[in-house]
Amino acid sequence: MANKTIPQLPEQTGITDNDVLAIVDSGETTTSKIKVSTLINKQYQPYKITGGTGGNVYVHDDYGYTGNNGIADLTDYSALLAGRNNNIGGGSSYSFIGGGQDSDIGNSSEFSVVVGGNNNRIGGSAAYSTIVGGNGNTVNGTLSTSLGGQDANVSGSYSYNGSYLSDASGAFCGVFGGNGGGASGTRAVKIGGRNGNATGSYSGLFAGQNISVGGQSAVGLGGENHTVNGTFAAVAGGYGCINAADYAFIGGSLTSDTNAANEYCGTLASKDSDINNDYVVMLGCSGRTSSNDKYTYVESLEAFTHIVLNDYANLNFTSDANAATGGVPLGGIYHNSGDLKVRIT
């Protein structure tokens, strides 16, 4: 053995945990020995895989950095990979946590996944759910997902949330970006915006601020401080409008409203104008209130070519009295054999 160089030593092809190697600690002159198992586990493989009961796999750190990871009893075929202080609850078999910190999969949430992030939680009985990244997110709905974001909650089944301080509590609903508010209506969606809520079924809220969409199949698109409660109703842009009528639209208007008792009406580019009738349109009005069905209200009207009375044959009267009898309102237009008239009495 003496006077042999290392290349001249016989090669060891088999290895066991109890085999030893010569080693000199840094800064020391004394030669010591170290077990192969100690050298590998402590120096070159800080994370090691150990099999859990029921086919579980734990990946933990002998230095204790992830020593608080855990898979509860009665949970089979699950895995924890790296991370710190992560736990998979009892009865949550076939689940996985990879990386991240202080995250949990609750009890009875089978086939669930948490990847990365911090302080994320899949609640109890929220099977087939997923959280990817983010901070402080919670998923309690079955077959639901949280992607990125912070302090976002998903309590509806088959739902999605990727935002900040928002809730996706309706079934089949989604919240994409934005902050505050959320989607609680069935199959509702909120995209961007701030502090808005889509509470009506099949409703949508896109951008804007402090908008509430409560009508079924209703839409809020931009603007601020709007309420949309009518069925199949919409508000786009503007500020402080209430659209309560069904099949109604308000666009680019300021503090203008429709009445819940009415339908088939709309306000465009108006201010402080209200509709209280059916089949009514307000165009460019200020401080106006409707008083008749099937009217169009404008502040002024300029025609570049022609103004046409389609029903001229039935608007031929010899006097205001006859015009009134024929249904022409005060201020209404009629003609006397082609001479244009305005009813004033």
Question: How many CB atoms are located within 10 Å of the residue 94 CB?
Answer: 16
Please give the residue that has the higher pLDDT: either 75 or 65. Answer: 75
Q: What is the pLDDT of residue 263?
A: 98
Average pLDDT over residues 141-161: 96
Q: Is the pLDDT of residue 259 over 80?
A: yes
Percent of the chain predicted with pLDDT > 90: 71
Q: What is the pLDDT of residue 20?
A: 81
Q: Is the pLDDT of residue 216 over 70?
A: yes
Q: pLDDT band at residue 334, thresholds of 50, 70 and 90? A: very high
Q: Is the pLDDT of residue 313 over 90?
A: yes
Q: Which of 11-20, 201-210, 218-227 bottoms out in mean pLDDT, i.e. has the lowest?
A: 11-20
Q: pLDDT band at residue 32, thresholds of 50, 70 and 90? A: confident
Q: What is the pLDDT of residue 63?
A: 40
Please give the residue that has the higher pLDDT: either 33 or 268. Answer: 268
Average pLDDT over residues 72-84: 82
Q: pLDDT band at residue 75, thresholds of 50, 70 and 90? A: confident
Average pLDDT over residues 103-122: 96
Domain limits, the chain? 1-45, 223-302, 307-345
The CATH topology of domain 223-302 is UDP N-Acetylglucosamine Acyltransferase; domain 1 (2.160.10)
Q: pLDDT band at residue 44, thresholds of 50, 70 and 90? A: very low
Taking all residues of the chain, what is their mean pLDDT, rounded to a whole number? 89
Q: Which of 51-60, 96-105, 108-117 bottoms out in mean pLDDT, i.e. has the lowest?
A: 51-60
Average pLDDT over residues 263-286: 98
Q: Is the pLDDT of residue 295 over 70?
A: yes
Q: pLDDT band at residue 40, thresholds of 50, 70 and 90? A: low
Q: Is the pLDDT of residue 340 over 80?
A: yes
Q: Is the pLDDT of residue 1 over 90?
A: no
Compute the radius of gyration of the chain from its Cα atoms: 36
